[in-house]
Structure 1
Amino acid sequence: MKYMIAVLALACSGLAVAAQPTAAKSEILMQSDKAWDGADYKEYATGKPELTVLKVALPPHSALPWHTNPMPNASYIISGEITVESKATGKTEKLVAGQAVPEMVDAAYRATTGDKPVELVVFYAGVKGQPLSQPVK
């Protein structure tokens, strides 16, 4: 019986320690009212807001097709490196793991990968029913 009480006391003290609040830390990875190419973001579409978060894996030496995004979005590069390119200007920007990028809106662009696979998370802030991207011909 003494043994069971001691075990119960240890278990309860462990729960008390686990339940102690911890100080949360946060870091702004990116905050912008402009896309990576310097273009200002415009007014949002009207409608019920819908947030979408995608985890994307791209193989090495690959290219996404030219496309546009109709809403503000941002990517966080988890691993690898990726180069984004504007179709209109040819401007490029190389991004590496740990970087966040404000993506272009209503402007054609693509992304290409280097020698290693790329993993990224993309956050979209759109409205319900709005497509995340549209191909460019």
Structure 2
Amino acid sequence: MSKDDHEHAPPTRDEIVSQGTCAWNGKPYDAYPPGTPELTVKRMTIPPRTKLAWHTHPMPNASYILSGQLTVEDRATGQTHVVRAGQSFNEQVGAEHRGFTGDEPCVVVITYAGTPGMPLSVPAPDRGDANP
């Protein structure tokens, strides 16, 4: 491509799909983890009719749904949030939660802002509650 080709290229279309200082449920982010920053981007495919295990995240992260639908549930409050293809959400830090799918698989891309060696998620202890 010549310089002229770049000068006459159509403009890009930019769209911020997620930005915020708090998680989907309104809980604010306090701070990034101390240490050397490490960004991790993960693509996850969740089968239909699947409930992920209860877990927490030690760092801020944001998810973007490529296809399907994901319902996110807060363990302490029972509050849920439905996210569909083309939508994004900021996940909770330190709070037990899980996601579950409906009749279709869900493909989600998650960006984590952690530090080297930090786990992306931590399994929550089994509480023996009625919400397995």
The alignment's TM-score, normalised by the length of structure 1, stands at: 0.85
Q: Where does 1:18-37 land on structure 2 (aligned, <5 Å)?
A: 19-21=5-7, 22=9, 23-37=11-25
Superposition deviation, residue 16 in structure 1: 3.7
For 2:104 and 2:5, the matched residues in 1 are separated by: 41
Q: Which of the residues 111, 122, 131 maps onto 2:99?
A: 111
Superposition deviation, residue 129 in structure 1: 1.3
For 2:67 and 2:39, the matched residues in 1 are separated by: 23
CA contact (8 A) 2:74 2:96 kept: yes
Query: Deviations along 1:39-90, whole A, 9 cap, x unmatched?
Result: 0001122100000000000110001100000000000000001100000100
Q: Which of the residues 48, 52, 63 maps onto 2:51?
A: 63
Query: Gapped runs of 5+ residues in structure 1?
Result: 1-14
Corresponding position of 2:76: 88
Corresponding position of 1:102: 90
**SS at 2:6 equivalent:** coil
CA contact (8 A) 2:71 2:83 kept: yes
Superposition deviation, residue 25 in structure 1: 2.1
For 1:96 and 1:53, the matched residues in 2 are separated by: 19
For 2:103 and 2:70, the matched residues in 1 are separated by: 10
For 2:44 and 2:2, the matched residues in 1 are separated by: 39
Residues matched between the structures, number: 123
Corresponding position of 1:73: 61
Query: Gapped runs of 5+ residues in structure 2?
Result: 126-132
**SS at 2:15 equivalent:** coil
Superposition deviation, residue 128 in structure 1: 1.3
RMSD of aligned residue pairs (Cα, Å): 1.5
Superposition deviation, residue 132 in structure 1: 0.5
Partner AA of 1:119 in structure 2: V
Superposition deviation, residue 19 in structure 1: 4.5
Corresponding position of 1:54: 42
Superposition deviation, residue 24 in structure 1: 2.2
Q: Aligned residues: percent identity?
A: 46
CA contact (8 A) 2:36 2:115 kept: yes
For 1:56 and 1:35, the matched residues in 2 are separated by: 20
1:122 matched to 2:83? The reply is no
Runs of 4+ in structure 1 deviating by more than 4 angstroms, as ranges, are none
